[in-house]
A and B are shown apart, each in its own frame.
Chain A
């Protein structure tokens, strides 16, 4: 076996160092490239990665750390960094109104221009070998030969109309080349492509006249306000688009002070807690009951029951949730069809808040009980049979045996998993999003919030669903969710420690 060949030859150390040096060099180059493209944060991350890699794989004394490096790097980059970045966004005004960086905002504003209507005239394109000429029929001017490949300028001279002109459709295909073209008329006017059909002289709407100053074509001066991320004219009006700036605690202030945000948030918060708790209780209750029945020694067809019972867990959740969305459909869903045939009722599952919440819980119980059942079956097996027998001999009923002997023994190891399940449901975005999208909406709110929205789906809608794309506000709310999750996570940590201690305590006895 290869293990016996242990004395690593000197040569392989050099190979290793060379590989480490190459990888580090690539990472450093990438970091520099990112930095140049004004992405300093990503550049810094790559730089840190390169440094860590070089030290840990270069020096012999960190041999052990080499094994841990990939995992730790992945956790830091893919979990810790996005979490930190979310928190940072919570302190910015990042939204569809303040989407770009400062430089890009200036680029967008200075690229805007108005058409001078008096110079606007139709044009046509004449092909000449692989190149083209622009023909302006109204003024009878023909341009020099242009390739229409990249930004070009050409002079116009009076001429007769070219014999063959390109079709309108073929001319439109040359659009990108035409847009980069500037033509100079004999009297010195510069004209540019001003739409699909015309050329005209264009005047830029804004010209940069200072480091933080733009001058509008009518002479008004706009100053950059780095507090709000907008250019402001003399009348104090914001000129969109704005750019991203840090705005401190403003988003949090909005969450806690604005009545239109706070009220729906409190309602969403309460429902999130209720939903997560009820989901855990329902799935645990049903799962445990089924597990106890399946453990009964006299029951036949156990294997068959078991496999059928875990089917809801095996089918991909996104499919079953959508199936339920169809089944519960108020107008042509099968559930209402059956309810109407049997009882003559057609509940409004999607428009009535309470029914919608009930539906979300029903579906989540259906999805979640098999997991609890499987876990419970495992834990039930670890309860010593003779404890139960002794109790039964003393004359205790089966129910009493279960509640005084079995349950107290399985709850402690179960607790961390119940807490984890609570945390999972607390953030069960997929369920809410695919089933109801959070609807029906709570009336009278200034941000979209629904009766079935949990905090995670509420934040998702705030960031991605409505026209506002309020990333900043969503980030701030996510930070609040983080705090709750951190508390749950810590509780789970403690519960798990206790369970582990109990286990090792028992093993020592």
Chain B
């Protein structure tokens, strides 16, 4: 480990790179196949990985445009992918901001303000956040079914209902932001208090500006979480024009209407932006997760 013989080192290096390349080939195989399928004719697989007669048909359809084949037949898009994307983005943004606002204020309170029973509240919060909302699906369905009789805005098949129930995600993010606030020197709030600032002013003028980086990360994570949600959206949303991407994508691979090629193009189109955003945010995600867990 400290002194290595050059020959051994060479062999080790070759082994390490060989293993990595083999593993990556295995792992990245699905991506390559999907890319190839999206340019392939038809919706069923044929023998070769590189398409023989590449076509843009699936891509035109994914962008919601009619495609005229060489023989003159016009193909119309099977599903409104762009509308689904817009639904996902809209819901994700609104719920993301809601979660961010609640989580930031709560995190500040849990980190700095003296309240009786705070320890117990934190413990309770930790225990309760392990219960995924997915488990309460039956109740969520029943609740919004009943609320829908009062007003359709809060009923089934409504985006408002979806945004409201997504606010349950605050628990996770309170921890991330609290971990960050805990690392801010207490001398700052003491100085502010000596100058006569109220806790709200300390929060507004000292903590909020400092927390912008972690808040943007939390926002991105919450957003991605909402866009990726399948169970809740699938229970609440029924009609095709209200669907989010996660619920709608499933329709492509129906046993009776199997649109493998169209799915490939739509999947790349919708998956790529989220993937890029995630790759940018991921390094903050991991530090937040492990810090939050250890600091408690």
A64 touches B199 (CB 8 A): yes
A421 CB to nearest B CB, Å: 11
Q: Which residues of B contact A478 (CB under 8 A)?
A: 135-136, 138
Q: Which residues of B contact A70 (CB under 8 A)?
A: 101-102, 105-106
Question: Of the candidates B20, B147, B230, B290, which one forms a contact with A375 in the assembled complex, judged by CB atoms under 8 Å apart?
Answer: B290
Given A327-B33, A337-B45, A475-B139, A315–B275 Cβ distance below 8 Å?
Answer: yes
Question: Of the candidates A68, A318, A401, A429, which one forms a contact with B134 in the assembled complex, judged by CB atoms under 8 Å apart?
Answer: A429
B231 touches A471 (CB 8 A): no
Question: Of the candidates A71, A82, A488, which one forms a contact with B139 in the assembled complex, judged by CB atoms under 8 Å apart?
Answer: A82
Does any Cβ of A come within 8 Å of B59's Cβ? no
Q: Which residues of A contact B87 (CB under 8 A)?
A: none
A71 touches B102 (CB 8 A): yes
Q: Residues 184-209 of chain B: 1 if any A CB is under 8 Å from the residue's CB, otherwise 0?
A: 00000000100111111111010000
Q: Residues 460-496 of chain A: 1 if any B CB is under 8 Å from the residue's CB, otherwise 0?
A: 1001100000010011001001100110111011001
A82 touches B140 (CB 8 A): yes
B136 touches A317 (CB 8 A): no
A64 touches B115 (CB 8 A): yes
Q: Which residues of B contact A1 (CB under 8 A)?
A: 205
Interface of B: prevailing SS? helix
Does any Cβ of A come within 8 Å of B34's Cβ? yes
Closest to A396 in B: B1
Q: Which of A432-486 contact B (CB under 8 A)?
A: 433-434, 456, 459-460, 463-464, 471, 474-475, 478, 481-482, 485-486
B230 touches A2 (CB 8 A): no
Does any Cβ of A come within 8 Å of B243's Cβ? no
Does any Cβ of B come within 8 Å of A388's Cβ? yes
Does any Cβ of A come within 8 Å of B271's Cβ? yes
Given A326-B253, A326-B263, A86–B279 Cβ distance below 8 Å?
Answer: no
A389 to B149, CA, bound (A): 69
Closest to A65 in B: B115
Q: Residues 332-347 of chain A: 1 if any B CB is under 8 Å from the residue's CB, otherwise 0?
A: 1110010001000000
Q: Which of B63-71, B72-80, B165-173, B210-218 contacts A (4 or more CB under 8 A)?
A: B165-173
Query: Which of A68, A413, A489, A493 has the largest number of chain B CB atoms within 10 A?
Result: A68
A85 touches B263 (CB 8 A): no
Given A86-B138, A322-B253, A71–B174 Cβ distance below 8 Å?
Answer: yes
Q: Residues 112-142 of chain B: 1 if any A CB is under 8 Å from the residue's CB, otherwise 0?
A: 0111000001010111111111111111111
Closest to A286 in B: B23
Q: Residues 16-30 of chain B: 1 if any A CB is under 8 Å from the residue's CB, otherwise 0?
A: 110110011001101
Does any Cβ of B come within 8 Å of A314's Cβ? yes
Number of interface residues of A (CB under 8 A): 110
Given A63-B199, A311-B27, A83–B249 Cβ distance below 8 Å?
Answer: no
A254 to B42, CA, bound (A): 49
Q: List 23 A-B contacts (CB under 8 A).
A: A6-B196, A34-B150, A63-B198, A64-B114, A67-B113, A68-B121, A79-B128, A79-B168, A82-B165, A89-B139, A298-B13, A314-B279, A316-B224, A316-B227, A316-B275, A319-B249, A334-B37, A429-B134, A459-B138, A474-B138, A482-B135, A489-B130, A489-B131
Name A's B-contacting residues (CB within 8 A).
1-4, 6, 8, 33-34, 37, 39, 42, 63-65, 67-68, 70-72, 74-75, 78-83, 85-86, 88-89, 94, 290, 293, 296, 298-299, 301, 305, 307-320, 322-327, 329, 332-334, 337, 341, 366, 374-375, 378-379, 388-389, 392-393, 398, 401, 413, 416-417, 420, 423-424, 427, 429-430, 433-434, 456, 459-460, 463-464, 471, 474-475, 478, 481-482, 485-486, 488-490, 492-493, 496-497, 499-500, 503
Q: In the complex, given contacts A83-B131, A316-B224, A471-B141, what are 14 additional A-B residue pairs having Cβ atoms less than 8 angstroms apart?
A: A3-B197, A64-B114, A75-B171, A310-B282, A314-B274, A315-B31, A316-B228, A317-B228, A323-B264, A329-B260, A434-B250, A475-B138, A489-B131, A499-B293
